[in-house]
Amino acid sequence: MLLITNARIYTGFKGAPIVNALLIHDDRVLAAGAVDEITALAEPGTAQIDFNGKTILPGLTDSHMHLKQFSLGLRNVLAETDTIDECLRRVAEKAAETPAGEWITGWGWNQNVWPGGYGTAAQLDAVADGHPVCLSAKSGHAIWVNSKALELAGITAQTTDPEGGVILRGSNGEPTGILMENASELIFEKIPPASFSAMREAVLAGQEKLWSMGITGIHDFSILSLFPVLQNLDQAGLLKLRVVKGIPVEDLDTAVAAGLTTGFGSDFVKTGSVKCFMDGALGPQTAGMLEPFENSQERGIVLMTADEVFEIGRKASSHGMSLAIHAIGDRANRVVLDGYEKLREFEKANGYKGLQHRIEHAQLLHPDDLPRLAKLGIIGSMQPIHCTSDMLISDRYWGKRASGAYAFRTLLDYNTRLIFGSDAPVETPNPFVGIHAAVTRRRADGTPGEQGWNPQEKLPLHEVLHAYTAAPALSSGFGTRLGTLTSGSFADLIVLSQDPFEIQAQDLHQISPDATMVGGTWVWAKPG
């Protein structure tokens, strides 16, 4: 047993009591309450920690991230720079330390912040020293490669654009080095996959990084091959991160044949939802729109019809699996909701209990569609940090429509269940940066001002923390065993020197944990 006393312990965030003592037995909370009451329940010889007034919160869940890319990315080129020259300098630095001929990969560039826009293959050629290079955009919907990578993939002026993808070309018809959406797969299939042992080590490093930020659980949307890595770590007792593992739609038949169902698994690895894509992203203007982007004739892309959503959903639901569909633009979200409406009718007619289907991102919905998530019982899986990261290009590309983007308050007012994440490595997985974004609608530097961007969509702190704790648990098969610190729940918690409810909202992003516990075990402590 472990007795925690003299702490400000938030047992939950929607009407749950604040207590000052916690009794932990094995991996669970045995009791939470007043110190005298809880101390009386402790067995003789129980270890005790006096936290001297520090704050304890339930462990936080990132409800949308890509663990493989995040973990491997810890050792790749960080391409998120203010200038293209700095990005190229980092590539050159990586090339100098990389064995000859090996791929150089990275993540994070954003052409919208570079004065010259997109980079070129020639620019990478000049610094890559013969290495093939592939740098993914911050949006995750485009890549920047050099001539060696194009050569290995057999991409020339004569290569046709694949369905759902675009190869950008110069005036001479030659590829520029930028590939969008499905065209990226032409390159990805030539990059040797990380070995099992390399992925295993990367995930161990990744989970430690997440613990240091206060994250004890994630909903992962990496490739299916990460499953055996997670299972191996779980069986070895080394996985101390609660992972809900999404299934890519292309692997749906495999999952069905294996008998997987959403929510099945262990305390550390559970099967999640089937992940589909409806559109692209805001930055490259591939989000599916009802009306064109501002000062453009482009309406982005829509990859499925409502009937196709229904057919995928029918197969998934019939085998106990929920859907999680990526949708950014208002048209994309409408098509997803139209498909979900048909699916709910099918589920009702066939006696299926309504599975917890999701929309991933839900960045812009037409006002007519905002009530439909709650009406259909669809979860809004959103990333507050996207709101502040993208606010300037939202105004630029969506104009007046942007006033209804990232509609946290409105969706909650319609009784939509919201769960929050980061989309890491697209953005930092630091949940306190996301919490700050949802509460203030401001960047860390204060942009765009004291009131924040579209301040009518701000949320109070308790609602935001609920979306990082209990709400993800209820949405993923953990029920009430996760996301709270009450009798019977997992002893997943973080210790803070600052109480987020007692500091200024603009300082929320500066919070960092002192220690993290998962399943009654201290997994991380701040050095010193």
The string of DSSP codes covering 328-346 is -SHHHHHHHHHHHHHHHHH
Chain-centroid distance of CA 145 in Å reads 25
Tokens of 479: 């029920």
Structurally, at CATH architecture level, domain 104-188 sits in Roll (3.10)
Tokens of 226: 């990460």
Rounded Cα gap, residues 40 and 121, in angstroms: 69
- Would you say residue 354 has pLDDT above 80? no
- Counting Cα atoms < 13 Å in the Cβ hemisphere of 417 gives 18
- Would you say residue 240 has pLDDT above 80? yes
| Number of residues written out for the chain | 528
* Fold (topology level) of 196-516: TIM Barrel (3.20.20)
Domain ranges of the chain: 104-188, 196-516
Rounded Cα gap, residues 304 and 20, in angstroms: 52
Q: Which of 143, 172, 148 is nearest to 158 (CA)?
A: 172
pTM given for the model: 0.88
**Residue in the block written with tokens 């998962």:** 518
- Looking at residue 75, what is its pLDDT? 84
Rounded Cα gap, residues 435 and 84, in angstroms: 30
Three-class SS string for 349-394? Answer: HCCCCCCCCEEEECCECCHHHCCHHHHHCCEEEECHHHHHHHHHHH
- Would you say residue 353 has pLDDT above 90? no
The helix, strand and coil proportions of the chain, stated in percent and rounded to the nearest 5, come to 35, 25, 40
pLDDT, averaged across the chain: 96
pLDDT in tens, 107-140: 889 998 899 899 999 999 999 989 999 999 988 8
Average pLDDT over residues 199-204: 96
Tokens of 376: 């259909």
- Would you say residue 503 has pLDDT above 80? yes
Q: Which of 19, 20, 21, 25 is nearest to 2 (CA)?
A: 25
pLDDT in tens, 416-431: 999 999 999 989 999 9
Tokens of 139: 């949006």
Upstream peptide bond of 367 is cis (omega within 30 degrees of 0):
no
- Looking at residue 410, what is its pLDDT? 98
- Would you say residue 65 has pLDDT above 90? yes
212 close to 186: Cβ distance less than 8 angstroms: no
- Looking at residue 15, what is its pLDDT? 87
DSSP line for 57-82: EEPEEEEEE-HHHHHHHTTSEE---S
